[in-house]
Amino acid sequence: MASFLPRTGFRAFKTLPRASMIPQLRQIPQLQPLSRRFLATTPQEQPRLRLGSTAPNFQALTTLGEIDFHQYIGDNWAILFSHPADFTPVCTTELGAFAKMKAEFEKRGVKMIGLSANDLGSHDKWVEDINEVANTNVQFPIIADADRKVAFLYDMISQQDLDTLAEKGGIAFTIRSVFIIDPSKKIRLVMLYPASTGRNSAEVLRVIDSLQTADKKGIATPIDWNIGDDVIVPPTVSTEDAKKKFGEVREVKPYLRYTKF
């Protein structure tokens, strides 16, 4: 470029006044280099795990051996649920409850897998406590995530912990998260809970029933729906077509129509 500029152009650049010599320019704050401004004002983004996005794959050690997450799911549905730490009261009650519901999830073709931010040695001893307290037998794997690798991959970190890490360093807790993943490895539902609040295992099972029914029948489910209750005809289906497909249709409003399941 320089070889195409006339010499007068170089003289013109040399004679331009400095910013300090122009009052209007002195009022403009000095800008930092772009890279520095970006780093200073933009926090580190966590993964955006939207509904319908592919669940990130990972390899990890678990209480039942090393796994590849996508291979573990196979052609099944899956529930990935996380816990802040081993030997904590709420987590112990949760894992015991899910262990007792294993047969119900298996009927629906669902694999469970837990995660806790401790190593395998701790997990093995904790499982003994869970089995004793809940009078059950935990048979699904629990991921050892002491380095928080999976926790960060699935954004299982609270904003408060991220702020603390940025200010003081240290290591983050893992929040209570539930991910329901379908056989195509797509995320279908996400639930996030604070550490003080235990989950409702029956609600997780209810959601599985709703998702699977909607996929198979092309319907929607209303508030508090359970298997056996009436379902909703989607607005995209006309009443005439709904009657052909489902039989009886009960119209409450033109946009709210129920049918038997």
Confidence at residue 196, expressed as pLDDT on a 0 to 100 scale: 86
From residue 17, alpha-carbon distances to 5, 25, 26, 142 in Å are 20, 11, 12, 68
Is residue 18 domain-resident?
no
Q: Are residues 131 and 104 in the same domain?
A: yes
Is residue 3 domain-resident?
no
Is residue 210 domain-resident?
no
Q: Are residues 116 and 223 in the same domain?
A: no
Q: Are residues 125 and 64 in the same domain?
A: yes
Is residue 41 domain-resident?
no
pLDDT band at 243 (very low <50, low <70, confident <90, very high): very high
CATH number at residue 70: 3.40.30.10
pLDDT band at 84 (very low <50, low <70, confident <90, very high): confident
pLDDT band at 11 (very low <50, low <70, confident <90, very high): very low
- How does pLDDT run across 113-140, given as a tens digit for each residue? 999 988 999 999 999 999 999 999 999 9
CB atoms within 10 A of CB 22: 11
Q: Are residues 67 and 140 in the same domain?
A: yes
Residue indicated by tokens 């280099």: 33
Is residue 66 domain-resident?
yes
Confidence at residue 217, expressed as pLDDT on a 0 to 100 scale: 94
Is residue 44 domain-resident?
no
Q: Is the pLDDT of residue 77 over 60?
A: yes
Q: Are residues 110 and 142 in the same domain?
A: yes
Q: Are residues 73 and 167 in the same domain?
A: yes
For residues 221 and 231, what is the distance between their CA atoms, to the nearest angstrom? 5
Q: Are residues 248 and 157 in the same domain?
A: no
pLDDT band at 159 (very low <50, low <70, confident <90, very high): confident
Structural domain including 173 reads 59-199
For residues 244 and 248, what is the distance between their CA atoms, to the nearest angstrom? 9
For residues 247 and 231, what is the distance between their CA atoms, to the nearest angstrom? 13
Confidence at residue 97, expressed as pLDDT on a 0 to 100 scale: 95
Is residue 38 domain-resident?
no
Confidence at residue 98, expressed as pLDDT on a 0 to 100 scale: 95
Q: Are residues 81 and 191 in the same domain?
A: yes
Q: Are residues 70 and 135 in the same domain?
A: yes
pLDDT band at 50 (very low <50, low <70, confident <90, very high): very high
163-198: b (≥16 Cβ within 10 Å) or e = eeeeeeeeebbbbbbbbbbbeeeebbbeeebebeee
Q: Are residues 97 and 222 in the same domain?
A: no
Which residue in the list 79, 91, 127, 237 is annotated as catalytic? 91
Is residue 98 domain-resident?
yes
Q: What is the mean pLDDT of the chain?
A: 83
Q: Are residues 255 and 180 in the same domain?
A: no
Question: Tell me, what DSSP letter sits at residue 52?
Answer: T
pLDDT band at 45 (very low <50, low <70, confident <90, very high): low
Helix (H) or strand (E) holding 253: strand 249-253
The total number of structural domains that make up the chain: 2
Residue 89 among the catalytic residues: no
- How does pLDDT run across 176-187, given as a tens digit for each residue? 999 999 999 999
CATH number at residue 228: 3.30.1020.10
Q: Are residues 131 and 253 in the same domain?
A: no
Tell me the percentage of the chain whose pLDDT exceeds 70.
80
pTM: 0.78
Residues 6+ apart with CB under 8 A from 58: 68, 69, 149, 150, 153
Q: Is the pLDDT of residue 154 over 60?
A: yes
Confidence at residue 71, expressed as pLDDT on a 0 to 100 scale: 97
Q: Is the pLDDT of residue 12 over 80?
A: no
